[in-house]
């Protein structure tokens, strides 16, 4: 986008005058933020219109990415960067007496997601736009995103996340895109005047979905613009004036409140499905609104839905939008007169599904009665899908037990993953290991009947946000060494490999890390008051708090060091700071206790300055995308320590790698592929492997035997009972060795402890040899190109969606 500083200035002045009737001298930072964002939005809109015209004219196939979560973070900085306008805005705001960096701080994160899955969706939008694939994302415009975390008395407290005031500027309300959704009631069949079977809804609740569009520009020449459409729920009917006039204000408001509840708040749990009715309504709301919109646009262009699979790929990101399959069937049959067979042929060639978990408690299942009550018509279609599937399997003489395992409805439950596999063209996992595991475990029977359906697309991250924007020092060095091709061709980062023995380059990499650590320490000091020692090694674990991710294993290791130092305060050690960032689902008590444990340990260390010099712990409050952008470039060790087989991929591992941090991790998820890329010398792998986990369970894994026979482990676990900062953690100690109503140590922290500790010691040696360590950092950066979401999106486009890029003009 070529706009001069003066042109930018004029546009901003115009917005200030029009929206606030003020001059820059009178403006607050908030007003400047708003004016600047509106200017950017106008530019995006214009770009989008040009792009859309090209897509329509070329009759390109499009992908529609359905996801309950998009973890967007901040937008202003990203948009300026992608449009190539950062410098112009910077200069212009300086002239007005503002700093662009300070203006960025006025924006709150759009936290419309829990963690990895939502951030992945956002990275994908960036790559789709940059690579210029015709794409549109669909999600919910939650009024409240993921809760804001406060730590009070060392414990997590959840506060509502009011992101909209500053996030709203990016959304274009689309009053022309409004669709009605039916919930509850009864679906009645009747014959119309032509003798055709029709369906009508009786006593159902009708809710309108209103569209808000956020435009996402790609980066560089020839980039496109993707649209993320967010649906907001509102009442279909007008305000109930009658009740109001009669003084019944509650009743007057009731319908509106009920409707708006649907998009009020994001469910704050990941990897755990609780079967709540409101969540099912949210999922249907997203799916129905999106499909109605897709169909309307398709019909405008092609006048028929017969070619839908050739012109549209609908992607279900996890099972959360699984209802897309029966809902598409419903729309095709009930509203567009297709027969079952025609509709099924279209739907099952249009939809694809990505699986993100193998954990039983995360696989979505709905109570059949609730499902029928909330979605009567979709339920009857789902039953028919199930009936026909069972018939087909019987025809193919598939074993009865296997059919029972694969069917959609069984034991009064509707199994969304099974629905997705049956109704999708392709099903993929998110790392090589995970894609193998789903074929061997949860989908093994399906893999026998539909062997060609399963494939892998390893996750990726947008290196433009996670390297170029968040780590400018490192980016400049890379540009100096290999040029800037890697901005759009991440695989060319491998050009850095030739500097692996270049001492000056290695020193500079070390120097940049030091500077980033210093800058982060200053930022933390300023924003929280916590004193980080930039001379210590920054060792970071940032992800949702979950047992399988084993933050507890990390804590056990730290407590071990802590006890060593309390016994022997003069011990010579490599000074380390362990940094944690994690939110726990509000009702996940054990996870919240681990947050408390980390904070209590941190507090206790603060009381002992001599220990703090050598060993420190910091908990980042309210970890989110913006916090990650600050912290990752300053981190040296990337903790990726899930129990093997549990983490589908992980994506922070990729963000750390591209910023030159070294992985300390298990052979799980994408760590395996990271290890293959960097080689054994440039990663620290420990712990049991997937098959060994299985074997250990079969051999009767018993953590209390480990506890009894390993003095170090015993010392650490016993110390949990005494606790830290005056708080005992005997509940966590007994979780590890007795099990609280459950199996003890279900994620095998004690089994992996020894190897973890030994491997961390090996890492100390490497770290204390600066050349060796900086070389490891360099190899990690050089080998990270394949983990760009550009590569992931090209894989999806080629193997799953069969998309072509829009040709440059
Ligand atoms: C389901 C039902 C009801 C309420 C909530 C949910 C729900 C919400 C979010 C279930 C799961 C999620 C999110 C899962 C997630 O983030 N998974 C992560 O996805 C990443 C991207 O593929 C992977 O890298 C991680 O390994 C995986 O844990």
- Please say whether the beta carbons of 4 and 88 come within 8 A: yes
Cα of 360 from ligand 1 centre, angstroms: 13
Cβ of 429 closer than 6 Å to ligand 1, yes or no, is no
Virtual torsion, Cα 436, 440, 444, 450, nearest 10 deg? 30
Burial class for 345, CB neighbours closer than 10 Å (0-12, 13-18, 19+): middle
Per-residue burial over 769-780, b if 16 or more Cβ lie within 10 Å, else e, is: eeeebbbbbbbb
With a 6 Å cutoff on the Cβ, whether 55 touches ligand 1 is no
Does the C-beta of 780 come closer than 6 Å to ligand 1?
Answer: no
Is there an atom of ligand 1 within 6 Å of 660 CB? Answer: no
179 lines ligand 1 (CB under 6 A): no
Catalytic residue among 356, 434, 592, 719: 356
Strands (E), 218-374: 225-235, 312-317, 351-354, 365-367
Centroid of ligand 1 to alpha carbon of 362 (angstroms): 8
Element (H, E) at 15: helix 5-15
* CB-ligand 1 contact for 270 (6 Å cutoff): yes
Beta bridge partners of 139: 230
* Alpha carbon distance, N-terminus to C-terminus of the chain: 14
Q: Can 544 be counted among the known catalytic residues?
A: yes
Number of Cβ within a 10 Å radius of residue 525: 12
Known active-site residue 651: yes
Q: Give residue 357 CA to ligand 1 midpoint distance, Å.
A: 7
CB of residue 364 inside a 6 A radius of ligand 1: yes
Contact 656, 545 (CB under 8 A): no
- Closest Cα to atom 15 of ligand 1: 117
Closest CA to 349 of 321, 388, 310: 310
* Structural contact between residues 678 and 654, judged by C-beta atoms closer than 8 angstroms: no
Q: Whose CA is nearest to atom 17 of ligand 1?
A: 117
Question: How many whole angstroms separate alpha carbon 30 and alpha carbon 19?
Answer: 12
The SS3 assignment for 105 reads coil
**DSSP states along 593-662:** HHHHHHHHHHHHHHT-HHHHHHEEEEEETT--HHHHHHHGGG-SEEEE-PPTTS-S--SHHHHHHHTTPE
pLDDT at 256: 87
Spatial separation of the C-alpha atoms in residues 63 and 124, rounded to whole Å: 12
Collapsed DSSP state (helix, strand, coil) of residue 342: helix
Ligand 1, atom 12: closest residue by C-alpha = 270
State the distance from the centre of ligand 1 to the C-alpha of 460, rounded, in angstroms: 15
Residue keyed to tokens 């899908």: 385
Q: Is the dihedral of CA 205, 211, 212, 213 positive or negative?
A: positive
Is the CB of 273 inside a 6 Å radius of any atom of ligand 1?
Answer: yes
Q: Is 434 a catalytic residue?
A: no
Q: Is 283's C-beta closer than 6 angstroms to any atom of ligand 1?
A: no
Q: What is the DSSP letter of 111?
A: E
Q: Which two tokens stand for residue 572?
A: 């010579």
Low-confidence ranges of the chain (pLDDT < 70): 1
| Catalytic site includes residue 315 | no
Strands laid side by side in the 225-235 sheet: 171-183, 205-217, 225-235, 135-140, 62-66, 312-317, 351-354, 427-429, 454-456
Are 116 and 132 in contact by the 8 Å Cβ rule? The answer is no
| Ligand 1 atom having least distance to the Cα of 647 | 26
Of all protein residues, whose CA lies closest to atom 19 belonging to ligand 1?
A: 117
- Expressed in percent and rounded to 5, the helix, strand and coil fractions of the chain are 55, 15, 30
Q: What letter would DSSP give residue 362?
A: G
- Closest protein CA for atom 8 of ligand 1: 270
Which atom of ligand 1 is the closest one to the Cα of 114? 9
Taking the CA atoms of the chain, what radius of gyration do you get in angstroms? 27
Question: What does the block give as tokens for 411?
Answer: 């034991």
The one catalytic residue in 229, 537, 543, 560 is 543
- Could you give the maximum distance between any two Cα atoms of the chain, in Å? 92
What secondary structure does DSSP assign to 691-710, as a single string? HHHHHHHHTT--HHHHHHH-
- Torsion, Cα 669 671 676 678, to 10 degrees, reads 160
Give me the pLDDT at residue 1, please. Answer: 66
Centre of ligand 1 from the C-alpha of residue 353, in Å: 14
Q: Is 103 in the pocket of ligand 1 (CB under 6 A)?
A: no
The answer for 473, left when phi > 0, alpha when psi is -120 to 50, beta otherwise, is alpha
Extract the tokens encoding 507: 């020193």
Torsion of CA 94, 97, 100, 103, to 10 degrees: -170
CA 8 – CA 40 distance, rounded (Å): 9
Ligand 1 atom nearest the C-alpha of 651 is 24
What separation in Å is there between the alpha carbon of 601 and the centre of ligand 1? 29
Give 710's Cβ-side CA count (13 Å radius).
18
Q: Decide: 117 in ligand 1 pocket, CB within 6 A.
A: yes
For 206, list phi and psi in degrees, rounded to 5.
-105, 130
């Amino acid at each position: 986008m070529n706009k001069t500083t003066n042109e930018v200035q004029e546009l901003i002045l115009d917005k200030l005058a029009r929206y606030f009737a003020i001059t820059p001298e009178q403006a607050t930072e908030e007003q400047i933020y708003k004016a600047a964002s509106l200017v950017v939005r106008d530019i995006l809109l214009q770009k989008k219109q040009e792009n859309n015209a090209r897509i329509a004219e070329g009759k390109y196939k499009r992908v529609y990415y359905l996801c309950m979560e998009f973890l967007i973070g901040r937008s202003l900085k990203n948009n300026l960067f992608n449009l190539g306008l950062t410098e112009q805005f910077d200069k212009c705001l300086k002239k007005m007496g503002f700093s662009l960096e300070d203006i960025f701080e006025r924006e709150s994160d759009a936290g419309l997601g829990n963690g990895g899955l939502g951030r992945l969706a956002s990275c994908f939008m960036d790559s789709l736009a940059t690579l210029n694939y015709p794409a549109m994302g669909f999600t919910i415009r939650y009024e409240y995103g993921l809760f804001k975390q406060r730590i009070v008395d060392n414990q997590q407290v959840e506060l509502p996340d009011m992101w909209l005031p500053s996030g709203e500027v990016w959304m274009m309300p689309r009053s022309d895109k409004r669709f009605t959704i039916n919930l509850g009631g009864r679906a009645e069949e009747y014959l119309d005047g032509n003798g055709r079977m029709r369906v009508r809804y009786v006593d159902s609740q009708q809710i309108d979905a209103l569209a808000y569009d956020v435009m996402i520009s790609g980066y560089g020449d020839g980039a496109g613009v993707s649209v993320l459409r967010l649906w907001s729920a509102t009442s279909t009917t007008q305000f109930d004036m009658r009740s109001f006039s009669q003084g019944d204000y509650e009743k007057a408001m009731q319908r509106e409140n009920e409707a708006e509840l649907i998009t009020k708040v994001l469910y704050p749990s990941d990897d755990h499905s609780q079967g709540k009715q409101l969540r099912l309504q949210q999922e249907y709301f997203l799916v129905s609104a999106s499909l109605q919109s897709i169909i309307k646009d398709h019909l405008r262009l092609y006048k028929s839905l017969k070619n839908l699979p050739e012109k549209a790929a609908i992607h279900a990101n996890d099972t959360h939008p699984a209802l897309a399959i029966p809902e598409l069937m419903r729309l095709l049959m009930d509203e567009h007169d297709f027969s079952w067979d025609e509709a099924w042929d279209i739907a099952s060639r249009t939809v694809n599904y990505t699986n993100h978990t193998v954990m039983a408690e995360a696989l979505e299942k709905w109570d059949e009665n609730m499902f029928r009550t909330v979605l009567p018509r979709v339920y009857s279609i789902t039953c028919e899908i199930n009936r026909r599937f069972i018939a087909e399997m019987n025809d193919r003489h598939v074993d009865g037990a296997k059919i029972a395992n694969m069917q959609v409805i069984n034991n009064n439950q509707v199994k969304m993953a099974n629905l997705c596999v049956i109704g999708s063209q392709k099903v993929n996992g998110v790392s090589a290991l995970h894609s193998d595991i789903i074929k061997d475990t949860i989908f093994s029977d399906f893999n026998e009947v539909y062997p060609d359906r399963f494939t892998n697309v390893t996750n990726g991250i947008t290196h433009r946000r996670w390297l170029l924007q968040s780590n400018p020092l490192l980016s400049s060095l890379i540009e100096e060494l290999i040029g800037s091709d890697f901005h759009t061709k991440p695989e060319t980062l491998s050009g850095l490999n030739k500097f692996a023995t270049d001492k000056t380059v290695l020193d500079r990499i070390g120097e940049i890390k030091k500077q980033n650590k210093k800058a982060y320490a200053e930022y933390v000091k300023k924003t929280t008051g916590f004193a980080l020692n930039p001379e210590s090694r920054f060792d970071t674990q940032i992800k949702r708090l979950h047992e399988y991710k084993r933050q507890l294993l990390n804590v056990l290791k730290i407590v071990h060091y802590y006890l060593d130092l309390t016994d022997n305060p003069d011990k010579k050690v490599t000074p380390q700071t362990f940094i944690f960032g994690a939110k726990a689902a509000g009702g996940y008590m054990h996870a919240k206790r681990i947050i408390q444990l980390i904070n209590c340990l941190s507090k206790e260390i603060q009381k002992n300055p001599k220990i703090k010099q050598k060993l420190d712990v910091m908990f980042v409050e309210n970890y989110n995308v913006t916090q990650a952008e600050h912290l990752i470039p300053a981190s040296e060790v990337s903790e990726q320590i899930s129990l093997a087989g549990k983490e589908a991929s992980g994506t922070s591992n990729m963000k750390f790698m591209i910023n030159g941090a070294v992985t300390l991790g298990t052979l799980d998820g994408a760590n395996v592929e990271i290890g293959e890329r960097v080689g054994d010398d440039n990663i620290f792998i420990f712990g049991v492997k997937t098959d060994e986990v299985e074997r250990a369970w079969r051999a009767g894994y018993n953590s209390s035997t480990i506890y009894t026979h390993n003095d170090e482990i015993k010392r650490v676990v016993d110390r949990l009972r005494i606790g830290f900062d005056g708080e005992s953690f005997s509940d966590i100690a007994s979780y590890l060795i007795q099990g609280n109503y459950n199996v003890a140590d279900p994620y095998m922290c004690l089994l992996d402890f020894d190897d973890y500790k030994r491997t961390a010691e090996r890492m100390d040696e490497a770290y204390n040899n600066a050349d060796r360590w900086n070389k490891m950092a360099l190899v990690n950066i050089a080998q990270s190109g394949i983990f760009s979401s550009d590569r992931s999106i090209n894989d999806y486009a080629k193997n799953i969606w069969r998309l072509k890029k829009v040709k440059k003009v």
